[in-house]
Amino acid sequence: MTKAKAAELLDRLHAQHPDAHIELDWTTPLELLVATILSAQCTDKRVNEVTPALFARFPRAADYLSVEPAELEEMIRPTGFFRNKTRAIRQASAEIVERHGGEVPDSFDDLVALHGVGRKTAAVVASNAFGLREGIAVDTHVLRVSGRLRLTRHADPIRVERDLMRLYPRERWLEVSDVLIFHGRRICNARRPRCEDCAVEDSCPSSLLRSVRKRAAH
């Protein structure tokens, strides 16, 4: 895949999803960090149902440490994996308080160094809350769509991120994840991709229509 071809694909996908943006509700870096941790294996819609009460109860990082874990677990239970997520939120909060004076650090390296914060979460917070372009958030949709379009030949998120960072200029990194996530949710679904409605179907090696056409030609 050339950089020019990759740029053209992203342009066309962005035209199909001009409203692509992060769908988690947040107003502060801490809220975005917590919402992103909660979004693992959970829909943004479900996270957005849980977070208003959570953010009202815990406006500062220190507040997550002031209650028993069970209280937090109960509040985030609907997002699934609530024990692990409670642990991640409290570990990150403790380090934010101890090492960063209670403020979420505005550097990718400091974010990814927090316990319970992986590269994807760090990239989401760094790019959306601080305008940094230090990485590309690779979630399940980005993995799937970039694989189907052959933007990468890898399946491992770190390698996929590296391939996407090589293909696209830094200023497009947030756009890459926003657009591929929207495309994965709306069109290029995991089980039944809607190739007939896809803006880049004519360039996609994985198009279902391609195999139908091939069968018809024989």
Residues binding ligand SF4 (CB under 6 A):
145, 148-149, 187-188, 193-195, 198, 200-201, 204, 206-207
Cβ at position 174, least distance to ligand SF4 in Å: 20
Nearer residue to ligand SF4 within complex by CB, 106 or 201:
201
> Least distance from C-beta 190 to ligand SF4, angstroms?
10
SS3 204: coil
Smallest distance from the beta carbon of 56 to ligand SF4, in angstroms? 40
The 10 Å Cβ neighbour count of residue 93 is: 27
- Judged by CB, which is closer to ligand SF4: 134, or 175? 175
Question: Whose structure tokens read 């693992």?
Answer: 40
What is residue 28's DSSP assignment?
Answer: S
Q: Which is nearer to ligand SF4, 56 or 190 (CB)?
A: 190
DSSP per residue, 14-80: HHH-TT----S--SSHHHHHHHHHHTTTS-HHHHHHHHHHHHHH--SGGGGGSS-HHHHHHHHGGGS
State the nearest-atom distance from the C-beta of 184 to ligand SF4, in Å: 8
* 8 Å CB contact between 204 and 148: yes
Residues recognised as catalytic: 120, 139
Encoding tokens for residue 30? Answer: 């801490």
- Return the number of the residue (74 or 197) whose C-beta is nearest ligand SF4: 197
